[in-house]
C-alpha cells in the first residue's frame, strides 16, 4: 500500500536569506542620535550659507553680493545629496548612520535598495506627515517589540548595527 497522500500539498525546504532576529537591532537612542546628527550636518552644509547670504545681502557692506553664498548653498545641497545617495546606495546608511555605525536593511536581513529607502522609507513618509498625528504615531512605533517606526513598516526595513 502506498503511504504518500496524492492530495497533500507539495513539500519544499525553504530558507530565508538571513534570520533578522540574529542581527542586532540599532537602539532607540542611537537612532535618535543619528537623526540629530543628520539634521546638524544638513543644517551646517545647506542652511548656514543661506543665513549668511541673506544677512550679507541686506547689509550695507559695499561690494558684498549674495550670489556667491547662493552658489555655496547650491553646492552644499548637491554635495550633501551626492554623499547621502552614495552612502545609502552602497551601505544603506546616511551620513549620520555611517558615523553611528548603523544601517537600514530589509526585514529579512537582505540589502535594502536605494529606491526602497528613498521612495518608500523617505518620500512616502514625508507625504504621510500631512495627515494629523501621523508623525507622532510614526515616532511612537519605535517602542514596539520590533522597534520599527511606521516608515520602517511601510518600506519593510529594519535598522541594525552595521
- How distant, in Å, are the alpha carbons of 31, 43, 55, 104, 160 from that of 98? 12, 17, 33, 11, 12
pLDDT of residue 20: 47
- pTM of the predicted model, to two decimals? 0.73
Place of cell 522597534: 147
Mean of pLDDT values over 45-51: 79
pLDDT reading at 4 higher than 90: no
Q: pLDDT tens across 82-141, in order?
A: 989 999 999 999 999 999 999 999 999 999 999 999 999 999 999 999 999 999 999 999
pLDDT of residue 45: 85
Task: Choose between 13 and 152: higher pLDDT.
Answer: 152
pLDDT reading at 145 higher than 60: yes
pLDDT reading at 43 higher than 70: yes
Please choose, from the candidates 50, 56, 44, the residue with its C-alpha nearest in 3D space to the C-alpha of residue 71.
Answer: 50
pLDDT reading at 81 higher than 70: yes
Distance from C-alpha of 18 to C-alpha of 52, rounded to nearest angstrom? 49
Q: Work out the pLDDT band at 80, boundaries 50, 70, 90.
A: confident
Q: pLDDT tens across 18-40, in order?
A: 554 568 999 999 999 999 999 99
Distance from C-alpha of 102 to C-alpha of 147, rounded to nearest angstrom? 14
The CA-CA-CA angle for residues 35, 152, 25, to 5°, reads: 75
Grid cell for residue 48: 548656514
Amino acid at each position: 500500500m502506498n503511504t504518500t497522500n496524492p492530495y497533500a500539498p507539495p513539500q519544499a525546504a525553504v530558507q530565508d536569506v538571513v534570520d533578522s532576529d540574529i542581527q542586532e537591532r540599532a537602539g532607540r537612542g542611537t537612532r535618535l542620535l543619528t537623526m540629530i546628527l543628520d539634521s546638524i550636518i544638513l543644517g551646517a552644509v545647506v542652511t548656514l550659507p543661506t543665513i549668511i547670504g541673506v544677512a550679507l545681502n541686506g547689509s550695507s557692506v559695499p561690494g558684498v553680493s549674495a550670489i556667491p553664498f547662493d552658489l555655496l548653498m547650491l553646492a552644499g545641497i548637491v554635495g550633501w545629496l551626492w554623499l547621502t545617495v552614495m552612502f545609502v546606495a552602497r551601505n544603506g546608511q546616511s551620513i549620520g548612520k555611517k558615523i553611528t555605525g548603523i544601517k537600514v536593511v530589509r526585514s529579512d536581513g537582505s540589502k535594502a535598495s536605494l529606491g526602497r529607502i528613498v521612495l518608500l522609507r523617505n518620500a512616502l513618509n514625508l507625504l504621510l506627515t500631512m495627515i494629523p498625528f501621523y508623525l507622532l504615531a510614526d515616532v511612537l512605533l519605535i517602542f514596539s517589540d520590533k522597534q520599527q517606526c511606521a516608515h520602517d513598516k511601510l518600506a519593510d526595513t529594519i535598522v541594525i548595527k552595521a
